[in-house]
Amino acid sequence: MIRLERRRRQSRAWALATPVLAVCATVATGMVMFALLGKDPVEAIRTIFWAPLFDPNLASYARPQILVKAAPLVLIAIGLSLGFRANIWNIGAEGQYIMGAIAGGATALALYPLDAWWIFPLMITAGIAGGVAWAMVPALLKIRFNANEILVSLMLVYVAEQLLASVSIGLLRNPDGIGFPGSRNLQHYESAANSELITGTGIHTGVIAAIAVALMVHALLRLHRLGFQIRLAGLSARSAAHSGANPKRLTAICLAAGGGLAGLAGIFELAGPAGQLTIDFNVGYGFTAIIVAFLGRLNPLGIVLAGLLMALTYIGGEMAQFMLNLPAAAIQAFQGMLLFFLLSMDFLSRFRIAFGTARIN
Amino acid sequence: MDLSSINPLLLIATMIAASMPIFFAAIGELVAEKSGVLNLGVEGMMIIGAVCGFVAAVETGSPIAGVFAAMLAGAALSLLFGLLTQLLHANQVATGLALTLFGLGLSALIGQSYAGIKPPSFPQIGFGTLSELPVIGALLFGYDALVYASAVLVVAVWWFLGRSRGGLALRAVGENQDAAHALGYRVVAIRMGAIVFGGACAGVGGAYLSLLRVPQWTEGATAGAGWIALALVVFSSWKPFRVVLGAFLFGGVTLLQLNLQAVGAEINPVYLSMAPYLVTIVALAAISGTGRGAHLGAPGSLGKPFHASG
Amino acid sequence: MTEFFEVGELSKAYPGVQANDRVSFSMDAGEIHALLGENGSGKSTLVKMIYGIVRPDSGRMTLLGQPHAPANPSVARSRGIAMVFQHFSLFNALTVAENIALGMHRPPRARRLDDQIRATGSNYGLPLNPNARVGDLSVGERQRVEIIRCLLQDPKLLIMDEPTSVLTPQETGILFATLRKLASEGTAILYISHKLEEIRDLCNNATILRAGRVVATCSPQEKSARELAEMMVGSSFSAPERPNSAFGEPLLEVRGISLRPGPTFGTPLKEVSFTVKRGEILGIAGIAGNGQDELVSTLSGEASVDSGDILVSGASLGRTSLESRRRLGLLVAPEERIGHAAAAEMNLVENAFLTGADRMELARFGIANWRKARKFAEAIIEKFDVRTTGAASYAGSLSGGNLQKFVIGREILQDPLVLVVNQPTWGVDAAAAAAIRQALLDLAASGSAVVAVSQDLDELIEISSSIAVLNNGSLSQPRPVANYTRDELGILMGGTHDIRLTAEESNDSA
């Protein structure tokens, strides 16, 4: 007879092993999926995971791109992970990302063509503020009315998408754009551009910020009282209240952190890789970041690794799309599968599988 | 603006049609939540239902086959959720999100070669001369089979939950899982049943969207309908007939927005497109703000993991 | 002739613990048989096996000469076994009738069931409205629901798991009358308790369990409570000493605080007032759910009062936060050890930090000093004899008694001016309970004021200088312990209002 026995506490070894196992299982299942789509599974996996890193013709393009993709994923995922740890489920990061980009972008466009050093920092601040403001809606509704933050934050994604569509063909449209939709390209506005810091590496300010945020949040969780309270709130809300944490304050802080970092990611993306506000500016980073947060076990340093891996599947997926004609949706399904496997493997860290009947000591 | 071009009878008929997808999804989720399971994967199950229903209808030429395929597809995806949350004890919130992310990706993959195709049209139920009666004919006898099925479904769910022994057991499991277990009820089995029922309903809701409401397949066709359905369950305080009412209201808002855009109302269309989502947020805040958890009818064990300790 | 019910060599092991080890006993029809033992002695596991919730690893049971090995509770119920649980297996959102139907093998149609509930209720003096929502009933009424659920199935064997832990002495009397009537009609009753006087009063025979084994079988009337206690615990233990001292100035003054019921707190507090002086231990008695949680939460600062005021050393607290109350010296040890006082998945260092951060200066500018926190945790472990592998072990790995010693010790070592403890020895083994009571007495002797909220009257009588009773959110005037009789306390706990109601109801049914 096979039984599950609950472990007294999570096994640390399994907690580290499960993401690796989940990736392996996803790769195996992915190969079956690719085979069903009529592609050579080995070639597909090689193109996704190996080619971007080591193919002599592609790596020079792909490696910097991995950093460019990973930066927003890591920033957003770290913000979300704080909430997830405290049982506060912000899943509207996509909307907060959009609002960060709109707020920061609007600031820059309002100042165009002024040339000053303070424009970029001001944009960043506005971007963070945009994301925070958007996240404050579910926070306040939860605090005031006990409204479910999952649903409210998610609904606001659709609202933000409508706003984005509106401003990119209306308010913020490029006046010199001869009728094309989309704002001015910030890459061509030197004071506002988030350009590569070292040419050819893909490293822009957002990449540096992602690493800095990861280290800061790591320190916060291990050393600071607020981090302790966030961890405690996730384990037991009443214990957290007993230790002196104010649950409303924690809700506001965790949602603000998620929104602020998503907004930050949004403005870095807008001022750098994306360049202009268009109707399809957002590509789902806010949702993929949820996978990244779990894959990184809600640990800031784990999230950095998970973000890099997820960015690799994006770039590899693009290459597979280009070289093998693999549909883009296959990669999306592939990423979804990864989260499934991760969650299902997770039980290994919380339960022990026992065979036979209970031992009698 | 010319409001007279909006025909009230037609408006009611289309409002009903507009409310169907979220109704099916919400009534299924209601049963799942009554058993104590919070499945946030409604959007994913809906869109998988939408695409599978569409593909099956196109391939077989039968929209009925499409509906059944959608039901199976939604149920299959919900079974995955059940396995993870009930047997492997995965976090319900995270697993529901995974279901949605996976469903969106998989549906795009399945449907990629079906964009732009028109599905076979859904047969109307023939009521003969009844449907030619003035006003009443259009109001009562002018719908597709699924609308009538939905009416049967809501009564059936109401009867099952409120009047049957099985429904009592299901509510008991959702209310206090440990007590139900102590009395000998099979918590996991009952919940699995409720989850699969919820998945099948969400699948039908999706199929309604792709086969009837907007008869075509586009990526991300559900556009948050699954999430609105989740909000609707809260809004209805876990009562079946209120789901009907709520779905009708939300359907009405969606439709009004389209109608107003069509007649060229002087409101920025952006605000109109946001309306269904904003209304959902406001409704959610209003309903959550008025009552206290238990008095709203939220099941006591909703979302709590269950592991039989003895 | 075969016995009515027999348990032979029953064993059950859980990971790391042998819950039952070759347990045997037997019962006759119409017998009230006590199963006596401390918390953790294996009583609950044993009855769960009889009722089919847990399957034994080995051993056998026979009911009326037939082998009894129920695969699940409904099989056990169909064979005539019924059980009233310690933590009620009730569903608050459902009606009385629905709750009863859920526990029946084959419930009749709704209207007939309602009639049966009324009929059985009046027959046994347990009146109930079948259509009332269980969530709206009092604790005593909820137990009636459980009992009627059992009686409607015409049980041959009725199992009662600690039924009186939630009842007033008066309600206990009514329950015993019902049980004696049932026994006289031929029902066998397996009565689980650790309350010696009750067992001596009610039961014909007793089986005593210790650490999963049967240590004795006896007729409880022939033994003294002290003899029974020694068999149960395994060694004689001494009652704590109570130093005699005069009290100093008031340290805690509670002036007419009221709290409206809300989502987290169901019972309102009505104008609660009391004063505790330096060196004094005030006991607050009462049945669970009469506002204990609410009172303790308003003192700790987790809930803020609607009106009234709390003063510590003459300083008004108003709506000050939990942290500033701690700094003033008002410390609280809540009832739930796991999930409130401590977090199971955190280690003892982190759990020491949980409430000790401010007073023990374990954090500066919000940055935790984990080394200092570890020293604090180690000090608690040493001073309060917490049995554990070390400060790095997780709170969830400690036994109930050891964790409770840690939780109480954590507050005492912070040198409180006022310490409020809620159910200080609930579910704790006798040795740890004695140690905790002694620690509270020592704390008061050293010049602190202590408020002990407890359901255990014996405990309060043992440690308190004076006692007040909390009933439905109202607190009686505190009086010195010597000025009470047990009956008076019981009547206060039930509330005079309830007593009158019960009398009327029994008139109705007569």
Measured distance CA(A57)–CA(A156) in Å, rounded: 42
pLDDT of residue C498: 39
Find residues 241-270 of chain A whose CB sits inside 8 Å of chain C: 241-244, 246
Q: Which amino acid is at A255?
A: L
pLDDT of residue C509: 38
Can you give the residue range of the structural domain that contains A322?
A: 38-326
Closest CA to B19 of B215, B200, B245: B245
* pLDDT level of residue B135 (50, 70, 90 thresholds): low
The residue type of A245 is: A
Name subunits touching A (3+ CB pairs < 8 A). Answer: B, C
Chain B positions touching C103 (Cβ under 8 A) are: 183
Give the model confidence (pLDDT) of B199-222 as tens digits.
Answer: 999 999 999 999 988 888 988 888
**Mean pLDDT over all residues of chain B?**
86
Q: From the CA of A104, how many Å to the nearest CA of chain C?
A: 32
Q: Pick out chain C residues at pLDDT < 50.
A: 1, 237, 496-510
**Chain segment A136-160, per-residue pLDDT in tens:** 999 999 999 888 898 899 999 999 9
pLDDT at B235 over 90: no
Residues C172 and C273 in one domain: no
Comparing CA positions, the residue from B169, B174, B198, B197 lying closest to residue B184 is B169
Which residues, other chains included, contact C288 with Cβ-Cβ below 8 Å and sequence gap of 6+?
C139, C166, C455
Residue of B26, B184, B41 whose CA lies nearest to B100: B41
Domain boundary among C186, C201, C233: C233
Q: Which residue has the higher pLDDT, C263 or A224?
A: A224
Which domain CATH number covers C211? 3.40.50.300
Is the residue at B246 inside a domain?
Answer: yes
CB–CB contact B300 C85 (8 Å): no
Cα–Cα distances in angstroms (integers) from residue C80 to residues A52, C106, C187, in the given order: 70, 13, 10
Pairing of strands C269-277, C81-84: unpaired
DSSP string over B195-214 = HHHHHHHHHHHHHIIIIIIS
Decide if C322 and A360 are in contact by the 8 Å CB cutoff.
no
Q: How many Cα atoms are found within 13 Å in the side-chain-facing hemisphere of B108?
A: 17
Q: Whole-angstrom Cα distance, residue C255 to residue C311?
A: 8
Residues 6+ apart with CB under 8 A from A283: none
3-state secondary structure of A183: coil
Asked if the structure places residue B233 within a domain, the reply is yes
Nearest CA to CA, how far is B144 from chain A (Å)?
30
**A-proximal residues of B, 175-204, CB under 8 Å:** none
Q: Is C318 exposed, middle or buried (0-12, 13-18, 19+ CB in 10 A)?
A: exposed
Question: Which pTM was predicted?
Answer: 0.85
Mean pLDDT (chain C) is: 85
Q: A-C interface: how many C-beta pairs under 8 angstroms?
A: 83
Is B308 a domain residue?
no
Q: Are strands A351-355 and A2-6 parallel, antiparallel or unpaired?
A: antiparallel
Residue C110 belongs to some domain of the structure: yes
Question: Cβ-count burial of A325 within 10 angstroms (0-12 exposed, 13-18 middle, 19+ buried)?
Answer: exposed
Rounded to the nearest angstrom, the minimum Cα separation between B221 and chain C is: 38
Residue where one domain finishes, among candidates C178, C200, C233? C233
**CB contacts, 8 Å: B83 with chain A:** 344
Of C377, C302, C378, C286, nearest in space to C334 by CA? C302
Q: Which of C89, C92, C136 to mutate to test the interface with B (most CBs of B within 10 A)?
A: C89
Q: Put the strands of the sheet holding C32-36 in their side by side order.
A: C81-84, C157-161, C188-193, C32-36, C205-210, C213-218
Averaged pLDDT for residues A348-352: 74
Residue A239 domain-assigned (yes or no):
yes
Can you give the pLDDT at residue B294?
45
Using only C-alpha atoms, chain C has a radius of gyration, in whole angstroms, of 24
Cβ of residue A334 closer than 8 Å to a chain B Cβ: yes
Q: Which chain C residues are Cβ-neighbours of B164 within 8 angstroms?
A: none
Are C339 and A238 an interchain contact pair (Cβ–Cβ within 8 Å)? yes
Residues C174 and C316 grouped into a single domain: no
Angle of the A300-324 helix axis to the A328-345 helix axis, nearest 10: 150
The alpha carbon of residue C25 is apart from the nearest alpha carbon of chain B, in Å, by: 22
**A1 in a structural domain:** no
Identify all chain B residues contacting C52, using CB atoms and an 8 Å cutoff: 184
- Report the C-alpha dihedral over residues B186, B192, B194, B198, rounded to 10 degrees: 170
pLDDT at res. B157: 96
> Could you give the CA distance from residue C259 to residue C190 in angstroms, rounded to a whole number?
41
What's the rounded Cα separation, in Å, for the pair C341 and C321? Answer: 17
Q: What distances in angstroms separate CA C263 from CA B289, C268, C493, one per listed residue?
A: 12, 11, 25
Query: Is C266 buried (19+), middle (13-18) or exposed (0-12) by CB count in 10 A?
Result: middle
Sign of CA dihedral B84, B85, B88, B90: positive
Encode burial over B240-254: b for 16+ CB neighbours within 10 A, e otherwise. Answer: bebbbebbbbbbbbb
- Boundaries of domain holding B290: 3-296
Chain A residues 83-122 with a CB less than 8 Å from chain B:
84, 89, 91
pLDDT at C108: 85
Q: Does C74 touch chain B (CB under 8 A)?
A: yes
A359 lies in a domain? no
Q: State the pLDDT confidence band at A4, using cuts at 50, 70 and 90.
A: low
Report the relative pairing of strands C81-84 and C157-161 from DSSP bridges. Answer: parallel
pLDDT in the model for residue C193: 81
If we measure between CA atoms, which residue out of C6, C44, C4 comes closest to residue C155?
C4
Question: How far apart, in Å, are the Cα atoms of C97 and each of A18, B36, C90, C106, C116?
Answer: 48, 21, 11, 13, 10
Residue C466 to residue C474: CA distance in whole angstroms: 17
Residue C118: other Cβ atoms inside 10 A: 16
Q: What is the pLDDT of residue B4?
A: 59
Instruction: Supply the pLDDT for residue C263.
Output: 61
C59 touches chain A (CB under 8 A): no
For chain A, say whether C227 makes contact (Cβ under 8 Å): no
For residue B227, the domain's CATH number is 1.10.3470
Residue A29 included in any domain: no
pLDDT value at residue C510: 33
Q: Which of C177, C206, C233 is the last residue of a domain?
A: C233
Min distance C285 CA to chain B CA atoms (Å): 28
Cα gap C396→C348, rounded to integer Å: 10
Whether C452 is covered by a domain: the verdict is yes
How far apart are alpha carbons C337 and C411 in whole angstroms?
13
What is the band of A358 on the pLDDT scale with cuts at 50, 70, 90?
Answer: very low
**Cα angle, residue A356 at apex, residues A352 and A359 outer, rounded to 5°:** 80
Q: Provide φ and ψ at C288, rounded to 5°.
A: -50, 145
Residue A336, domain member (yes or no): no
**Min Cα separation C192/chain B (Å):** 17
Contact flag C98-B168 (C-beta cutoff 8 Å): yes
Measured between alpha carbons, how far is C386 from B91 in angstroms, rounded to an integer? 34
**B103/A344 Cβ within 8 A:** no
pLDDT for the residue numbered C240: 55
Mutate to test the interface with C, among B175, B178, B188, B288 (most CBs of C within 10 A): B175
Are residues C297 and C259 part of one domain? yes
Tell me the torsion sign for CA atoms C100, C102, C106, C109. Answer: positive
Both C158 and C39 in one domain: the answer is: yes
Contacts of B300 in chain C (CB under 8 A): 91-93
Residue C115 and residue C49 in one domain: yes
Verify that C289 and C145 share a domain, yes or no: no
C86 and C19 in one domain?
Answer: yes
ipTM of the complex: 0.85
How many structural domains comprise chain B?
Answer: 1
- The C-alpha of A234 sits at a distance from chain C's nearest C-alpha, in angstroms, of 10
* Cβ-Cβ contacts under 8 Å for C464 (sequence gap 6 or more): C281, C282, C283, C452, C481
Q: How far is C67 from chain B (nearest CA, A)?
A: 20
Mean pLDDT value across chain A: 89
Does pLDDT of A357 surpass 60? no
> CB distance from B267 to chain C under 8 Å?
no
Are C484 and C449 contained in the same domain?
Answer: yes
C338 touches B: beta carbon within 8 Å = no
* CA-based nearest distance B170→chain C, Å: 11
Per-residue pLDDT tens for A65-75? 999 999 999 99
Residue pLDDT, tens place only, A239-282: 999 999 999 999 999 999 999 999 999 999 999 888 889 988 98
**Phi then psi dihedrals of residue C207, to 5 deg:** -110, 125
C344 touches A: beta carbon within 8 Å: yes
CA-CA-CA-CA dihedral for C475, C481, C486, C489, to nearest 10? 0
Q: Which of A232, A359, A361 sits opposite C343 (nearest CB)?
A: A232
Q: How far is CA C379 from the centre of its chain?
A: 29
Please count the residues of chain C.
510
pLDDT value of residue C496? 45
Selecting from B168, B178, B293 the residue whose C-beta is nearest the C-beta of C263 gives: B293
pLDDT above 80: residue B296: no
Give per-residue burial for B11-45: e unless 16+ CB within 10 Å, then b.
ebbbbbbbbbbbbbbbbbbbbbbbbbbbbbbbbbb
Is there a domain that residue A356 lies in?
Answer: no
DSSP letter (8 states) at residue A192? T
- Residue C206's CB is within 10 A of a number of other CB atoms, namely 26
| Residue written as token pair 């409310």 | B19
* CB burial of residue B219 (10 Å; 0-12, 13-18, 19+): middle
Q: What is the dihedral of CA B10, B11, B12, B17, to 10 degrees?
A: 90
Provide the token pair at A146: 């006990």
Contact call for A346 and B104, based on CB within 8 A: no
Name the closest residue on chain A to residue B310, using Cα atoms: A5
Cα distances from B252 to residues B240, B247, B259, B279, in angstroms, run 19, 8, 10, 11
* pLDDT reported for residue C281: 95
State the best of B29, B45, B101 to mutate against chain A, taking most chain A CBs within 10 Å: B101
Q: Which of B180, B183, B294 is the closest to C135 by Cβ?
A: B294
Contact at 8 Å (CB) between A74 and A81? Answer: no
Structural domain range at position C121: 5-233
Overall number of domains in chain C: 2
Say if C507 falls within a structural domain. no
Confidence of residue B310 (pLDDT cuts 50, 70, 90): very low
Strand partners, C419: C331, C450
The least confident of A30-34, A337-341, C261-265, C338-342 is: C261-265
C11 to chain A: closest CA residue: A360
Same domain, C57 and C148: yes
